[in-house]
Structure 1
Amino acid sequence: MMVPEIYHCGVKGCLEETTFYWVHFSFPRSYSLVDETEVDWSHIMKQESTYIDPAQFQLHLPRYGKITNEERLYHHLSLLNRLNPSQSPLDKLKQQSIFYECMIIIQQEAVQIPTSAETVSSEAVSYIKEHFNDPSLTLTGISSELLYHPDYVTRCMRRTTGLTPNQYLTRYRLEIAKELIIKTNQDLGAVSKEVGITDRSYFSRVFKKIEGITPNEFRRMRANESARL
């Protein structure tokens, strides 16, 4: 990627027939140049989504590098180029969507996650999903069962999911709780206990903090949505 307002030049001529396709784009906000560093999903996810607000991300895009999945990226770039002559508003909107897919591909290529970290994270996630309804489930317990140090499990999960084990556990419990609130008539105390949170007041506070609304407000909103269908 070429940074604007900086002089760029090649170091030697091309040794084979080469065609350039330039994609010009702008940022809605300012950007900054940083020294090369390892990037994982904990750098990119800045704020998780709630029921009322979308997630927020900060892309870390390399200025140069090698694309391993060339065919996928070239396919999207060719679609961009094919739509370029069109003056149709619909095609221009499609271009925006395709361009964003290109940015996601480049970001995926830049994320550096060792296979060992992915393995540990996968084991931890599986264990959390299997034992989430255990009120005594803790990071120490998860790490002990998986035979890893708690700090190592935390680092691996942050690199692959952007979340710590405790954050992932809380998120997963709330996802199950939302399903129960929508699909059953259980009171909130029963829902809370079923997902491994014994204190109903604490459950409501955590739900409000993460989703932006209380469990009762969530239930009413979903009921109103269903009634309009």
Structure 2
Amino acid sequence: MVKTNVIKAAEIVHIPAPPAPYFLECGYAVYNAGDQHPNRSNIGVFDLLFIESGTMYIGEEDRQWELGPGKSLLLLPDRYHYAVKPCEDRCTFYWLHFHTICSWQETPSEIPAAFQPEEHSRTFKTSPYTIQLPKMWTLPYPAQTYQLMDRLRQYSAERQSSAYWSQQQSFEELLRMMDLRQLEQTTSPVVTLAEQTEAYIRNNYRSELTSQSFSEALHFHYNYITRCMKQIYGMTPNDYLLHYRLEQAKLLLLKTEWPVAEIAKEVGFRNAPYFSNRFTLKNGCSPQQFRKQYSR
């Protein structure tokens, strides 16, 4: 008897974007009775499997699965993958390799991953959206998934200059279909409130925001809002507000010739010296120096 870990919405692999994961290659395989998945270690790419028919017996480190039709499994780049035992009947499946340059995390489904917008924005000037892919899953729309995979395989016969864009577009469509954050019934209330708080800040960052205004707008006590934000974004609402205001100030310093005091007021700071101080602490240079660094 093969041990099978029963997972509801499985462990979740969290991948921040931008930059989005990118497609590498895919294929379709047929295993007859007695065939088995190859044993591999640290292959350096994500290996996504979609079982069409039959059953595959596969493991990763100390985990083992019995995958039937309509099941998907995401094997991780830095783990040992192996066949638990050969197939007992004919098994057909699709496979897809993709990669990301971001640091990803795997967590139990009930524990959201916390990424740091502050660290991420040093490169991308934004807070990341976190794609949440299930480790092992029962596909809600298997036929649609198989059609997407067939489309991806067909593009490989085209010229690279056109195939590249078509493949990336279809791959992102596949990721969107699998992203648990697109499925409201699987989204954690903590994630939902944190995202609502983020949206509220982005839409109102020019105004004076207080703990009371957060509570009134989001209909939760400010302490609970803070816990959710820290769990998902690693920041309190006020920390995120400061972070977002300073990022908007950077854009205005580059796009306009406005005086620093006017920019400070535009992004929600009532005190220009305080704005300059916070900007310097975060970026290692004053607003004037930042503007000059990118000016001719």
Q: Give the distance between the partners of 1:72 and 1:210, measured in 2 at CA.
A: 46
**1:192 correspondence with 2:264:** yes
Q: Give the distance between the partners of 1:26 and 1:130, measured in 2 at CA.
A: 36
Q: Which moved more, 1:67-76 or 1:191-200?
A: 67-76
Residue 203 of structure 1 corresponds to 275
Deviation at 1:64, TM superposition (A): 0.9
Q: Return the structure number with greater strand share.
A: 2
Q: Give the distance between the partners of 1:53 and 1:222, measured in 2 at CA.
A: 15
Letter in 2 for 1:142: S
What's the CA shift string for 1:25-58, capped at 9, x where partnerless? 56779988x5633354635968332467787788
Q: Give the distance between the partners of 2:101 and 2:94, measured in 1 at CA.
A: 23
Return 5+ residue gaps in structure 1 as ranges.
225-229
The structure 2 residue matched to 1:5, chosen from 64, 81, 92, is 81
Residue 30 to residue 175, structure 1, CA distance change in 2 (3 Å) = closer
Residue 23 of structure 1 corresponds to 96
The structure 1 residue matched to 2:161, chosen from 55, 80, 90, is 90
Q: Could you tell me whether the CA contact under 8 Å between 2:116 and 2:233 is conserved in 1?
A: no
Residue 63 to residue 45, structure 1, CA distance change in 2 (3 Å) = farther
What is the TM-score of this pair, normalised by structure 2?
0.51
Q: Return the structure number with greater helix share.
A: 1
Q: Could you tell me whether the CA contact under 8 Å between 1:76 and 1:98 is conserved in 2?
A: no
Residue 179 of structure 2 corresponds to 108
Q: Give the distance between the partners of 1:123 and 1:28, measured in 2 at CA.
A: 28
Name the Cα RMSD after superposition.
4.7
Percent identity of paired positions between Structure 1 and Structure 2: 24
Deviation at 1:194, TM superposition (A): 3.5
> 3-state SS of the aligned residue for 2:81?
coil
Q: Could you tell me whether the CA contact under 8 Å between 2:226 and 2:237 is conserved in 1?
A: yes
Aligned residues: 216
**1:42 correspondence with 2:118:** no
Return 5+ residue gaps in structure 2 as ranges.
1-72
Taking the TM superposition and a 5 Å limit, the aligned residue runs for 1:119-130 are 121-122=195-196, 125-126=199-200, 129-130=203-204
Residue 44 to residue 97, structure 1, CA distance change in 2 (3 Å) = farther
What's the CA shift string for 1:165-189, capped at 9, x where partnerless? 2233224323543454355543212
Residue 42 to residue 13, structure 1, CA distance change in 2 (3 Å) = same
Residue 133 of structure 1 corresponds to 207
Q: Give the distance between the partners of 2:199 and 2:245, measured in 1 at CA.
A: 12
Residue 100 to residue 48, structure 1, CA distance change in 2 (3 Å) = farther
